[in-house]
Amino acid sequence: MASVDNKSEALAVMERHRGMLIKLIRAFPLKDMEEGDAWQEIYYQVQRALPSFQERSAISTWLYRVALNTLLHFRRKEQQVLPLRENPEPAEEPTYAETLLLQAALLSLGEFDRGLIIMYLEGFSQKEMAEAFGITPGHAGVQVHRIKKQLKSWIETH
């Protein structure tokens, strides 16, 4: 069983990166799991994996990868495409319609591309993205450029 310190540290790490995690959870919606439940599953995995974190990458990169792997695990179990869920929080800058359009565009991407572009949107460097996905920084940059063009094209046609 995990110690109280480990539980507190896991929660503190997740709270520091709450925005990134919520965006990731919303980018990979799960049919049988609400956002709060997804948060709890990620928390459980972070709590379990935190003692093995070796600081070879930034904690945010490591956390992103743990969260993404957790969501993909549950998504594979569902093995189906899901309809969009309404965003319960009002958008700050884009309109609600624009937010839904972007969410639909993100859902049109494959899992790898979606995970990579979410990291880009969160401000991760090419090096951090490369570490998280096991690719070179140059490949990460090329992929992000290609994904941005793909998203722009998708949005213009919808």
Q: What is the CATH number of the domain that holds 116?
A: 1.20.140
Contact 66, 45 (CB under 8 A): yes
Among 20, 28, 130, smallest CA distance to 85 is for 28
> Which of the four pLDDT bands, split at 50, 70 and 90, describes residue 3?
low
pTM of structure: 0.62
Tell me the per-residue pLDDT of 41-72, one tens digit each, with 9 for 90 and over: 999 999 999 998 988 889 999 999 999 999 98
> Which of the four pLDDT bands, split at 50, 70 and 90, describes residue 7?
confident
Tokens describing residue 8: 């507190």
Domain count, the chain: 1
Answer whether residue 143 shows pLDDT above 90. yes
Tokens 């994996």 sit on residue? 49
Domain membership of residue 40 as a residue range: 4-157
